[in-house]
Amino acid sequence: MPLFFFLYLGLCLSFTSFGSCVARSHEIPHRKLSNAPCPLDIDAFRKIIREADQPLLLLDVQTECQFMLEGIRLLRSEYLRTTGYFSPPSNASEACWHAYESLSNEWLPGFGVRSTCGFKASLMTGGCMNITTRSQFESLISQSELQGIQDSCNQSLENNSTCDSCKQRLWRVSASNFGRPVDGNESDCNSYPFMFAAAFASRYGPTNLGTVKCLFSLDFNAFNVNTKRIKHTKVMHRAVLVGCVSGFFVAVLVVWVLWRRHKKYRGRKRNMESTDMGFASAMEIIGENTSLVKFPFEEIKKATKNFSRENIIGMGGYGNVYKGILADGSEVALKRFKNFSAGGDEAFAHEVEVIASIRHVNLVTVRGYCTVAVPLQGHQRIIVCELVHNGSLYDHLFDSRMKKLSWPIRQKIASGIARGLAYLHYGVEPAIIHRDVKASNILLDQTFEPKLADFGFAKFTPEGFTHLSTRVAGTLGYVAPEYAMYGQLSERSDVYSFGVVLLELLSGKKAVAEADGTGTLLLADWAWSQVREGNPLDVVDESMPELGFAEVMERHVLVAVLCSHPVAYARPTMDQVVKMLESDFPLPSIPDCPLVDEMVKIDQPASFSGSSYISSPEGQQPCSYESDHSILSDLEKVGSSQKHM
């Protein structure tokens, strides 16, 4: 080994000075004189993909290219952590691109990263503003900014609030030091703060799943949320096209025959039968995928101390909810229905099957059920569910004995509710519409993770139907206008209810209030007027213990107002809402309140008796917001006295 060193030293001295030779010897690990192998840890990225909860499925080029770009940033961040350099030497560029394209072909066969996405070779090994090392980056930004990055990002980034705080800090550093965003295909300067934070500020390093999700937007669950639905939509589009072409003459013939025979009534009947078949088939599919426990009635009685009043933890229109302890020692919640006639068995079976068919962290899980006919007591129908110990969102918002929720907790609750509803709408087939989303039906565990409960009103959406026409069920203030007035139910009806709950969560005010002899006041109307006047932050409860960033709170207010818009198709879908709340997904403009023509009152509990939805038969008028300040005072006045609905 010493002999090799002296030979090498002699060769160096024959071409240049001794000092330059020594300097070059220190750079050899990073800069080779010829094409070098790729020093990036490609296997680390491969391991992250393989260990994801579900397989990666990317169906559009834009999503695929964004994923590949973020993967390059992740690999460069890991390289920065281990070597101190932001990018490998330029002569390793081709080797790294070859290795990276080989990785992409493992799950995207035939996908050429550079050719498809237009990535330039410099993206893998290029620098930014002559910054190549950690020390050069740290000398560029101020000491206070470095300390801010350390304070905000040196923690687990799996939590939405801590992730948001870290990213807000990095965006400010990027804006103040690197100027406006540039083409990520050229120098990718704006990603340098994120690569630096992942490498040196995050205590878990760049390859931690929380860091990967937060700083590089590589959330595998998010990439796959809509995959099944998108794929299904594409297949349906192709099928419709083929069907239209091949069945054109048959369709004309059928229409002609129907017109000649005046079979409109039979056509309506056929549609109704297809709807019923959709519900029936949905029940059969779900029933096959559930494994419920049928508890003996005696065990239920023992668990609830013979349905003791002391064990009641909730009361509602459908029955009482009891706390109980099963034979195995586990605590459960048991819902006992008041309607003990045999005619209610179908509704009971519907609720049990719906709850048992789904599993999600933000949905209450069913343990089993009990059905029995008891002499002198009639039919007994009981659902056994997991017990959520921390009460409901309604309790924490409107019970004066409860401590007020901080902004990070409210933000976590909002995102959890949105994810739960998005799963009901897009994560199961057929889609499930909850129909009764309200604060009292959102339970909180000890970590304030929300869980949607009470699926007694749930409805299936048969494939191919945009909405259902059904008897109105729900709670005043939370029911969407098109559902309350016309019985038209769709996923966007749940979106409206979510918007109202989000407004309650943000403002600390109830969804509906009775004014002093002037009718009903809706929280959604008042919030819309505040946004219209340019004061969205006036909606936020400023008395909460810990406020968040103003722009984040304002974003939540705008999302809530958009969701509670009176026009169904002005509302976003729940998967879009999740992206709006958890990322910088662009918000659409909020349409003005529509003209209302000949709307009529309908009976409570599904009526909207405020002036916002009522007009005279003689003409049209816009939603009325003539007394915004009086609405606010009335809401505050009755907010503490309104009863739990």
Beta strands in 499-602 (DSSP E): 512-514, 520-522, 595-597
Integer Cα distance of 511 and 496 in angstroms? 12
**C-alpha dihedral, 497 to 440 to 645 to 349, nearest 10°:** 80
Beta strands in 267-397 (DSSP E): 293-294, 312-315, 319-325, 331-337, 366-374, 378-386
311, 324 Cβ separation under 8 angstroms: yes
Task: Provide the greatest CA pair distance for the chain.
Answer: 109
The total of other beta-carbon atoms located within 10 Å of residue 514's CB is 15
Question: Phi-psi region for residue 258, left (φ > 0), alpha (ψ -120 to 50) or beta?
Answer: alpha
Please give the DSSP secondary-structure letter assigned to residue 88: -
44, 78 Cβ separation under 8 angstroms: yes
The total of other beta-carbon atoms located within 10 Å of residue 409's CB is 19
Integer Cα distance of 371 and 364 in angstroms? 21
Q: Which two tokens stand for residue 431?
A: 């889609």
Q: Which two tokens stand for residue 190?
A: 């704006």
Q: Which two tokens stand for residue 42?
A: 């490609």
Q: Which two tokens stand for residue 95?
A: 């080797």
Angle between helix 491-507 and helix 523-532 axes, rounded to 10 deg: 80
**Residues classed as catalytic:** 436
Quick one: which of 450, 471, 451 has its CA closest to 459?
A: 471
Q: Which two tokens stand for residue 165?
A: 């705080």
The total of other beta-carbon atoms located within 10 Å of residue 442's CB is 26
Identify the H or E element spanning 49: helix 42-50
Integer Cα distance of 107 and 101 in angstroms? 11
Give strand pairing partners of 520.
514
Please give the DSSP secondary-structure letter assigned to residue 108: S
Distances (CA, A) of 491 to 459, 488, 571, 604: 10, 10, 10, 22
278, 463 Cβ separation under 8 angstroms: yes
Integer Cα distance of 99 and 42 in angstroms? 7
Give strand pairing partners of 335.
321, 383
Amino acid symbol at 45: F
Amino acid symbol at 9: L
100, 74 Cβ separation under 8 angstroms: no
Integer Cα distance of 616 and 596 in angstroms? 9
Amino acid symbol at 11: L
**C-alpha dihedral, 175 to 176 to 179 to 184, nearest 10°:** -50
Integer Cα distance of 82 and 80 in angstroms? 6
Positive or negative: CA dihedral 177, 179, 182, 187: negative
Integer Cα distance of 643 and 614 in angstroms? 25
Is 302 within any annotated ligand binding site?
A: no
Q: Please state the residue numbers annotated as binding site.
A: 335
Q: Please state the residue numbers annotated as binding site for ATP.
A: 335
